[in-house]
């Protein structure tokens, strides 16, 4: 049963020819692919020759060993190692643990649509590349010629790299975490992008957006992908509570004709509320926005069977 569920999912990705575009791919998403009580608690992501298993609730002893055996049987020599991220633990205690094979030390390049991004499989809480934003990275690769781009809540800067590889003339990358901004710089260098094209800011969005406004900064593309909740020295931020304020800080920086891509990856933030906050911000700032698209999940992320709406919501909005 377990084997046939997993193999069907692996086969589906192969039929859709998804491996040809990327070395980083979700090959199984339990919550969207099965009602099996055990398997619905896990996801499996492929990063080049590593499988990264996430478990959201602890599964029975033996299940992960069986999953590993199926993975090894299916992928054979292509799979070097298997690791586990246990999200059933509180975030501060969760750390990736090796399950099988010699895990690569340090960061290594994984190509998506021909662009290299640095992934990490040991001593980390996350591999460094959010796979659900693959369609956004693809869009950036095809649309950013000569654009000035601001990437807020950048994490490891994968969206910045995609924008620059797509021809952006200047990319500003901003995140509150020093470690992830350093990783973003490494990603930039690893993609052989010129230093002078990239600005990297280690700081709080709520401190930097007003500073940029004072300097009359303007961007053709602004990427905004906040966490549902965060804490900084300036206090706490929650997308549900502060979404309108955040967007009201952002909109004055958007050039006319420019595009804001704003998304939230959380089942606790409802699409309606998120959109309402953007509307409120556009009223406060007197900015006219046209909805030109939705931020999509890749084909390898089936919709969750138990959820009324997609957990990733987001919009492409043009300032008119």
Choose the stretch contacting ligand SAM; rule: CB under 6 A; options: 8-16, 27-35, 192-200, 222-230: 222-230
Burial of residue 211 (number of CB atoms within 10 Å: 0-12, 13-18, 19+): exposed
Tracing tokens 């099965």 back to the chain, one arrives at: 34
225 binds ligand SAM per the rule CB under 6 A: yes
* φ, ψ for residue 156, nearest 5 deg: -85, 10
316 binds ligand SAM per the rule CB under 6 A: no
115 to each of 19, 21, 127, 188, how far by Cα in Å? 14, 10, 16, 11
Q: What are residue 16's DSSP bridge partners? A: none
Among 109, 124, 177, 240, binds ligand SAM (CB under 6 A): 177
Nearest-approach distance from CB 206 to ligand SAM, in angstroms: 6
Whichever of 34 and 221 has its CB closer to ligand SAM, that residue is: 221
Whichever of 100 and 132 has its CB closer to ligand SAM, that residue is: 132
Nearest-approach distance from CB 38 to ligand SAM, in angstroms: 28
Question: CA-to-CA distance for 199 and 41, rounded, in angstroms?
Answer: 39
228 binds ligand SAM per the rule CB under 6 A: no
Q: Among residue numbers 258 through 287, which ones bind ligand SAM (CB under 6 A)?
A: 265
Among 28, 29, 52, 130, binds ligand SAM (CB under 6 A): 130
Nearest-approach distance from CB 156 to ligand SAM, in angstroms: 6
Whichever of 50 and 133 has its CB closer to ligand SAM, that residue is: 133
249 to each of 206, 209, 244, how far by Cα in Å? 8, 6, 9
Closest to 30 in 3D by CA, of 308, 314, 303: 303
23 to each of 79, 156, 193, 225, 238, how far by Cα in Å? 12, 18, 21, 23, 33
232 binds ligand SAM per the rule CB under 6 A: yes
221 binds ligand SAM per the rule CB under 6 A: no
Choose the stretch contacting ligand SAM; rule: CB under 6 A; options: 2-10, 44-52, 69-77, 152-160: 152-160
Among 84, 103, 205, 312, binds ligand SAM (CB under 6 A): 205
163 binds ligand SAM per the rule CB under 6 A: no
Query: What does the block give as tokens for 40?
Result: 């619905």
- Pairing outcome for strands 312-319 and 254-265: antiparallel
Question: With contacts defined by CB under 6 A, how many residues of the chain interact with ligand SAM?
Answer: 22
175 binds ligand SAM per the rule CB under 6 A: yes
141 binds ligand SAM per the rule CB under 6 A: no
SS3 annotation, 25-71: EEEEEHHHHCCCCCHHHEEEEEECCEEEEEECCCCCCCHHHHHHHHH
Q: Residues in the site for ligand SAM, rule: CB under 6 A?
A: 130, 133, 153-156, 158-159, 174-177, 180, 204-206, 225, 227, 230, 232, 237, 265
């Amino acid at each position: 049963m377990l084997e046939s569920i997993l193999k069907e999912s692996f086969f589906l990705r192969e039929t859709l020819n998804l491996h040809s575009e990327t070395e980083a791919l979700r090959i199984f998403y339990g919550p969207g692919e099965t009602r099996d009580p055990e398997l619905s608690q896990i996801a499996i992501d492929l990063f080049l020759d590593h499988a990264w298993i996430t478990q959201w609730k602890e599964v029975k002893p033996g299940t992960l060993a069986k999953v590993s055996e199926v993975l090894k049987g299916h992928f054979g020599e292509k799979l070097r190692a298997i690791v586990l991220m246990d999200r059933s633990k509180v975030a501060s205690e969760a750390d990736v643990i090796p399950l099988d094979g010699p895990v690569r030390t340090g960061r290594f390049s994984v190509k998506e649509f021909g662009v290299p991004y640095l992934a990490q499989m040991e001593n980390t809480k996350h591999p460094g590349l959010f796979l659900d934003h693959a369609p956004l990275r693809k869009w950036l690769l095809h649309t950013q010629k000569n654009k000035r781009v601001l990437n807020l809540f950048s994490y490891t800067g994968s969206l910045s790299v995609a924008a620059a590889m797509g021809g952006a003339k200047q990319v500003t990358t901003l995140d509150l975490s020093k470690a992830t901004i350093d990783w973003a710089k490494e990603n930039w260098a690893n993609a052989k992008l010129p230093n002078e094209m990239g600005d990297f800011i280690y700081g709080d969005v709520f401190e930097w957006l007003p500073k940029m406004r004072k300097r009359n900064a303007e961007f053709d593309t602004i990427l905004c992908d906040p966490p549902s909740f965060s804490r900084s020295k300036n206090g706490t931020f929650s997308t549900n509570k502060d979404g309108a304020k955040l967007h009201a800080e952002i909109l004055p920086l958007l050039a006319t004709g420019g595009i804001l891509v704003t998304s939230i990856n959380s089942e606790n933030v409802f699409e309606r509320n998120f959109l309402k906050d953007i509307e409120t911000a556009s009223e406060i700032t007197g900015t006219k926005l046209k909805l030109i698209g939705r931020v999509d999940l890749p084909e390898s992320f089936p919709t969750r069977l138990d959820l009324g709406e997609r957990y990733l919501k987001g919009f492409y909005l043009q300032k008119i």
